[in-house]
């Protein structure tokens, strides 16, 4: 039976000396011969390259042997509203959650813990956000991301920081990170760019009882995201419904002929009704336009017949107007000829000129006087 135990503690190791299952001391590097005839002594060897000290008796060790702990360990104790950033040899390596007690061996690995208060400011320091968000697997444990809420606010957007259901502040474009401990953090993004909305296939009855299907487009922009989010459950749905209501009200108050004759008036009526209501909630409606007015098939046929009849009537009116104008012109010409014999002879010569274009030979007797005063005799050359 061996009475002595030979224990070897290497340069990178420490030995936890337990007697009767109670921590008695810590062995530094060296060779030890321990007299233990009754087997009451045990030594647990720890590798200092793993600086975290894990043991079920940590609380007892800290409470009853504080001086021993401070000589061999770095003792970190965090409150309910404190977080620790763990650096090993100057590099961020991990995070300690609130209400954590952690012991690190004093040894070859330089361990430092930066304690941050999160009772009020729960945002990560700006210089740590990118380091954690884009951490490599070998540099920062991926489970660290479980402790952090990451949010990236895109360009031309604004972020709404909501903590435990309360809107705290707005965020400009950029990358943000917040501790999840003791709170629920959410960042909602609101697009500040000009946006389009389509209202499709709205079947509406006009004032003269004609059913139409109308397609409408609207453009809008969020000018006050805080007001839009705080006072409306969903500002997009709200705007869509208001456009629907305004469209139905405007169409139902007009006849079919009015709607088809002046779409610009319909657009203006809808725009005025919608913009007045939504402007109080931080929404600016820039434009509203009716894209299509679709009629039922039978109504299309009726309107086509009406249009065809109107065009035929217009054509007849134009034809009669031209005939009247031509007759009036002839009457004026006849009156001038009656009053002026020379004008009459000029007209006769004009007719004669046209006749001569059809004959091969023309014989005139009496010279010019014979042409102007005597009867004109046209001889046709025999074949």
Q: What is the pTM of this model?
A: 0.66
Per CATH, the homologous superfamily of domain 195-295 is: Band 7 domain (3.30.479.30)
- Grouping H, G, I as helix, E, B as strand and the rest as coil, residue 255 is coil
How would you write the pLDDT of the chain (383 residues) with one tens digit per residue? 457 888 999 999 999 999 988 888 999 999 999 888 888 899 999 999 999 999 998 988 898 888 999 899 999 999 999 999 999 998 888 889 999 999 999 989 999 999 999 988 889 888 888 777 776 655 566 667 788 888 999 999 999 999 998 889 999 999 999 998 888 999 999 999 999 999 887 788 888 888 888 889 999 999 999 999 888 888 999 999 999 999 999 988 888 878 877 878 889 999 999 998 999 999 999 999 888 887 765 555 555 565 566 766 777 788 788 888 878 887 777 777 777 777 666 776 676 667 666 666 656 655 555 555 554 433 334 44
Strand locations in the chain (E): 4-9, 13-19, 22-27, 30-35, 41-47, 52-53, 73-77, 82-88, 91-96, 101-105, 111-117, 148-153, 157-163, 166-171, 174-179, 185-191, 195-205, 211-222, 283-294
DSSP secondary structure code for residue 149 in this structure = E
Do 222 and 228 form a contact (C-beta atoms < 8 A)?
yes
The residues spanned by each domain of the chain are 195-295, 297-332, 340-383
Query: How far apart are the C-alpha atoms of 25 and 65, rounded to whole Å?
Result: 9
CA dihedral 276, 281, 289, 189 (to 10 degrees): 170
């Amino acid at each position: 039976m061996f009475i002595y135990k030979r224990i070897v503690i290497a340069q990178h190791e420490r030995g936890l000396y337990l007697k009767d299952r109670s921590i008695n001391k810590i062995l530094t590097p060296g060779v030890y011969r321990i007299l233990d005839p009754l087997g009451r002594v045990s030594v647990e060897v720890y590798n200092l390259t793993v600086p975290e000290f894990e043991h079920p008796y940590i609380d007892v060790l800290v409470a009853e042997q504080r001086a021993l702990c401070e000589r061999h360990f770095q003792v970190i104790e965090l409150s309910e509203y404190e977080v620790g950033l763990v650096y090993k040899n100057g590099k961020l390596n991990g995070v300690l959650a609130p209400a954590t007690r952690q012991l690190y061996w004093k040894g070859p690995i330089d361990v430092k813990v930066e304690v941050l208060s999160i009772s009020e400011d729960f945002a990560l320091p700006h210089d740590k956000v990118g380091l954690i968000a884009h951490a490599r697997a070998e540099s920062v444990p991926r489970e660290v991301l479980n402790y952090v809420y990451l949010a990236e606010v895109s360009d031309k957007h604004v972020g709404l920081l909501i903590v435990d259901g309360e809107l705290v502040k707005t965020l400009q474009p950029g990358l943000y990170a917040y501790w999840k401990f003791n709170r629920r953090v959410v960042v909602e993004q609101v697009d500040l760019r000009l946006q389009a909305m389509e209202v499709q296939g709205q079947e509406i009855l006009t004032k003269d009882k004609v059913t139409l299907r109308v397609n409408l487009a609207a453009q809008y922009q969020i000018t006050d995201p805080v007001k839009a989010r705080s006072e409306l459950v969903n500002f997009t749905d709200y705007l869509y419904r208001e456009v629907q209501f305004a469209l139905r009200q405007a169409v139902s108050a007009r006849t079919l002929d009015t709607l088809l004759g002046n779409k610009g008036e319909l657009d203006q009526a809808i725009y005025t009704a919608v913009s007045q209501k939504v402007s109080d909630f931080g929404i600016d409606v820039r434009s509203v336009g009716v894209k299509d007015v679709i009629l039922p098939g039978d109504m299309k046929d009726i309107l086509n017949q009406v249009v065809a009849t109107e065009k035929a009537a217009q054509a007849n009116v134009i034809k009669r107007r031209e005939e009247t104008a031509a007759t009036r012109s002839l009457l004026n010409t006849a009156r001038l000829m009656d009053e002026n014999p020379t004008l009459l002879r000029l007209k006769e010569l004009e007719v004669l000129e046209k006749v001569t274009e059809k004959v091969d030979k023309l014989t005139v007797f009496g010279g010019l006087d014979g042409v102007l005063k005597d009867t004109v005799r046209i001889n046709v050359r025999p074949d």
